[in-house]
Amino acid sequence: MSVWQPSAAISRLQHRAQLLAQTRQFFAERGVLEVETPLLCQHAVTDPHMPILAADNPLLGEQPYYLQSSPEYAMKRLLAAGSGPIYQLCKAFRGGEQSRRHNPEFSMLEWYRPGFDHFQLMDEISDLLIALMAVPAAQQISYGELFEQHLGINPHTATATQLEQLARQQLDIQMHSDQRDDWLNLLIAEVIEPKLGFDTPLFIYDYPASQAALARLATDANGHAVAQRFELYVQGIELANGYFELTDSAEQARRFQQEQQQRQQLNQPAMASDAYLLAALESGLPECAGVALGFDRLVMLALQCERIDEVLSFTSDKA
């Protein structure tokens, strides 16, 4: 094939366009407003594990700009301004590998539902998958139940040492860490995730409180502190990540500071917290649930493709 040729077959790009149209119809029928927010932003996320791409200042100033890794912060500013339910189909960017399931530039579907909690949003996501992919209604399982079912351990009470021992029994690894979350993330990614969502899409909810990100905290029926967030798996692929959104500006500022400390511990440069988001939260973010869904991966699953380049017009190495 000539180097100028697209990565995906034209027939697949035509099917992708149909899925985009169906997605917009789905939200139009539900009264959810389509919005656009900037791809170039003055602030990036402070998560030390998120590979951010920097860019030149479009106003020719000295302050760096960033290619957005998610439209979340800007969309929350719209919510605080009274937008009501909103969605966005946009490009997002994350540095690093280009692989079977990753491209540094990718398409994201993100939406927010004022008045919804994360369980109501999971139901709506399931409805979208049924409309686009003709799959069965999604099932739900808590993070704790998932680990008990697959590994026979309680992830909320197990020590880092116990989790490390379990990981070394399951995997041939060289990793060393005294952090519980490092071992939990390794176990779910390498042992559990490849088995999920084959019979029916599967939501995992009630993650450990230490993995809250931008989600609210709560106490589950067993008295464990949990994050009110979820992830969706279909055919062993992580497809979406959602939250019952944090609305407390002081708590958000505290979490930003915690991430700054983590960046310092990892010898990463400091990243200014998004003052616009904090001001929006201070002004008043409505109670809402939100989700980010990888649209390229959804197209992969709908077309039964094995690689992301089969559903992209041009991957980053051909751009």
Query: Using one digit for the tens of pLDDT, what is the confidence trace for 118-154?
Result: 999 999 999 999 999 989 999 999 999 999 999 999 9
What is the spatial distance between Cα 182 and Cα 180, in angstroms, rounded to a whole number? 5
To the nearest whole number, what is the mean pLDDT of the chain?
A: 95
The pLDDT of residue 10 is above 70: yes
Sign for the pseudo-dihedral over CA of 299, 303, 240, 169: negative
- Looking only at Cα atoms, what is the longest distance across the chain? 60
The pLDDT of residue 255 is above 90: yes
* Residue of 209, 210, 195, 201 lying closest to 150 (CA atoms): 195
Work out the average pLDDT over 75-81. Answer: 98
* Per-residue tokens: 118: 């994360």
pLDDT band at 1 (very low <50, low <70, confident <90, very high): low
Number of H helices, E strands in the chain: 9, 12
The pLDDT of residue 267 is above 80: yes
Identify whether the C-beta of residue 46 lies closer than 8 Å to the C-beta of residue 273: yes
Identify whether the C-beta of residue 262 lies closer than 8 Å to the C-beta of residue 212: no
What is the spatial distance between Cα 24 and Cα 158, in angstroms, rounded to a whole number? 44
- A 10 A CB-CB count for 68 gives 25
pLDDT confidence of residue 3:
86
pLDDT confidence of residue 220:
94
Work out the average pLDDT over 186-208. Answer: 96
The CATH T-level fold of domain 10-137+255-318 is: BirA Bifunctional Protein; domain 2 (3.30.930)
195 φ/ψ angles, rounded to the nearest 5 degrees: -100, 0
CA 90 to chain CA centroid, Å, is 14
* Residue of 125, 149, 159 lying closest to 233 (CA atoms): 125
Identify whether the C-beta of residue 303 lies closer than 8 Å to the C-beta of residue 310: yes
pLDDT band at 300 (very low <50, low <70, confident <90, very high): very high
pLDDT confidence of residue 189:
95
**Strand-pair partners of 219:** 225
Domain limits, the chain:
10-137+255-318
* Residue of 279, 200, 268, 206 lying closest to 234 (CA atoms): 200
Query: Using one digit for the tens of pLDDT, what is the confidence trace for 159-186?
Result: 999 999 999 999 999 899 999 999 999 9
Burial class (CB in 10 A: 0-12, 13-18, 19+), 288: buried
What is the spatial distance between Cα 208 and Cα 112, in angstroms, rounded to a whole number? 23
* Residue of 121, 123, 117, 128 lying closest to 22 (CA atoms): 128
Work out the average pLDDT over 9-35. Answer: 98
